[in-house]
Amino acid sequence: MKKVLQIILFFAFLNIYAQEIKEYRILSVVDSMPIENAYITADNWLKTITDKKGFFKLSGDYQNIQISHLAFKAKIVKYKTMVINKITYLEADEKVLNEVIITNKKKIKTLLPSNDYKFFKRDSYMVNQNSVYTTFIPNEIENTCFINKIIIEVGDNMNSSKLYNIPFRVNLYTVNNNTGLPDKKILDESILTSQNKNRKNNFIYVDIRDFDIEFPKEGIFVAVESLNLLELEEMKTLSGQLPSFKAIKNKNKYVTYSRIYSWDRLTKTKDTIYKDWIDKILPLPKFVFNFGIEVQY
């Protein structure tokens, strides 16, 4: 009787395990071909990548799933929707990297702390794990305009990493009208990217036109978030190397703030702020990360 009970419990465990781990697939919307090496992020945690046939497995219960790939537009879907559909389709990402162009009588302009490549010296700075770095971009455009892309200039050590990706996330923050500091995230889910995705020269372009984000009159903060060590360890294909970004000396209307989080490897808690935007002990950086945006008006 005891042996029979053990067998029943064993198969019950297998059944529960099979229910927890579910398989999904990522395909191209153009030809339904499988997409290999797409990054799968669940509620801001990098979980896995797709195999040669576009499949990946995921266990647990989540709110949002973000899918990122070098050759396709990033996509965020509700986990419940993914569970129902099983297959998610991605659109190819066409690279339109002009600095200032006219399209359908609308202007497209790049706003960066420095786009004068000849006269401003740039230094590279490697960032901390589990941190957020934000650069303020003022709004000096009189017309109403919308943000097309987030633009990030990567550091020198990212150039030697062509065979593997050094991941980081990007987002936008509103400006706190009372303090002038970064306030709230504009994108619910930060977008995962890397130094090899949508790149022209040293610049990474992350297309966010689908979000219809209006450029606030008070300006905006462009944010880069570094991954923590646990996330890097879970992705065995990644190098574990921390990203670096180009910066220039402080300029009057631009400033970079940083926020560093501490976290526990056992509980995976990462919400404790170790160093906030303003810290009495640690001063502001003496440089400005060259993060910016492309706007259309």
Q: Residue 295 pairs with which residues in a beta bridge?
A: 109, 147
Residue type at position 120: F
pTM of the complete model: 0.67
The sheet carrying 123-126 orders its strands as: 123-126, 244-249, 287-289
Domain locations in the chain as residue ranges = 2-90, 101-296
DSSP 226-266: PPPHHHHHH-TTS--PPPEEEEEE--TT--EEEEEEE--TT
Please say if the pLDDT value at position 16 is more than 80: no
Task: Report the relative pairing of strands 21-28 and 87-90 from DSSP bridges.
Answer: parallel
Q: Which residue has the higher pLDDT, 238 or 281?
A: 281
The three-class DSSP label of residue 105 is coil
Q: Which residue has the higher pLDDT, 150 or 196?
A: 150
Q: How far is CA 141 from the centre of its chain?
A: 26
SS3 content of the chain, % helix, strand, coil (to 5): 15, 45, 45
Between the alpha carbon of residue 98 and those of residues 27, 110, 207, 295, the distances in Å are 29, 9, 13, 12
pLDDT-derived band at 30 (thresholds 50, 70, 90) equals confident
Please say if the pLDDT value at position 202 is more than 80: yes
Q: Which residue has the higher pLDDT, 282 or 173?
A: 173
Q: What is the distance between the alpha carbons of residues 217 and 96, in angstroms, rounded to a whole number? A: 26
Please say if the pLDDT value at position 17 is more than 90: no
Report the CATH fold assignment for 2-90: Immunoglobulin-like (2.60.40)
Region 83-91: mean pLDDT is 91
Q: Which of 101, 108, 114, 292 is nearest to 204 (CA)?
A: 292
Right CATH for 101-296 from 3.30.1490, 1.20.120, 2.60.120, 2.30.280: 2.60.120
